[in-house]
Amino acid sequence: MMIWAFRQLATPCNYLRIRHGEDVFRSKLVYDLILPGLLAGGTLAVALICDMPLSVLEDKELFGAMSGLLAILIGFYMAALAAVSTFDRAGIDNKLEGHDALLSVRRTDGRGRVDKKLSYRQFISYLFGYASFLSFIIYVALFLGKSVWSKMEAAVRQIRFGPEVMVYGIEPLSFYLTAFFMWQLFLVSLLGIYFLAERIQELHET
């Protein structure tokens, strides 16, 4: 089995496993899960109140805008990742100040796991690595989904209670998930910009 290959390809997702902050509501979980979930729910509520179509894949203007934006962002994130990885600034390899950014990793001797304290370079690299990964996955998912959505919708509507399943189940769920990951990408990007624009500028050798 090639589990090792999938682990390597999914390495950017390690960003989600990083623990940083005092508690749930004062940690990176706010940017990763809490705010994206709330904003996605609000977006879905607005769409329902305004009677907007929930099928992102069938809205040509929205689909075109999202795919165009993601195509640009993928290049931006890759460039940011390359810049941070090679950035030469005093203090960038220091551990994060305040609360440590911790990532559980396997011990070199293979006996269990241990928490690794991340430096600014490592944390920001994981952040932009995940943003690159997520934007690419959303981009591919949109194009693959567009090619099968109409066929899947037609098949579902043929079964008993199919139209109700589409209207009250699949369409709202797909809209919420799309909104969730787009909001997550937006908030993670803002967090990365914050680190680049402010935290790195205050670094010094210790």
pLDDT at 204: 67
Give the separation between CA 29 and CA 11, rounded to whole angstroms: 19
Instruction: Flag whether 7 is in a domain.
Output: no
Domain span at residue 27 reads 16-202
Among 134, 115, 111, 118, residue whose Cα is nearest residue 188: 134
User: Is residue 111 domain-resident?
Assistant: yes
pLDDT recorded at residue 205: 54
Token readout for 55 is 């099928």
**Residue 1 has what pLDDT?**
55
Residue 63 domain-assigned (yes or no):
yes
Task: Please indicate, yes or no, if residue 105 is contained in any of the structural domains.
Answer: yes
The rounded average pLDDT for each run of 10 residues, N- to C-terminus, in the chain (206 residues) is 78 94 86 97 94 81 89 93 87 88 84 90 95 95 84 79 79 93 96 90 67
Q: State pTM to two decimals.
A: 0.90
Residue whose entry in the numeric block shows the structure tokens 């997550």? 184
Within a domain: 142: yes
The pLDDT of residue 108: 75
Say if 62 falls within a structural domain. yes
Return d(Cα 87, Cα 82) in angstroms, integer: 8
Assess if residue 137 is contained within a domain. yes
- Domain total for the chain? 1
pLDDT value, residue 68: 92
CB distance 21 to 29 below 8 Å: yes
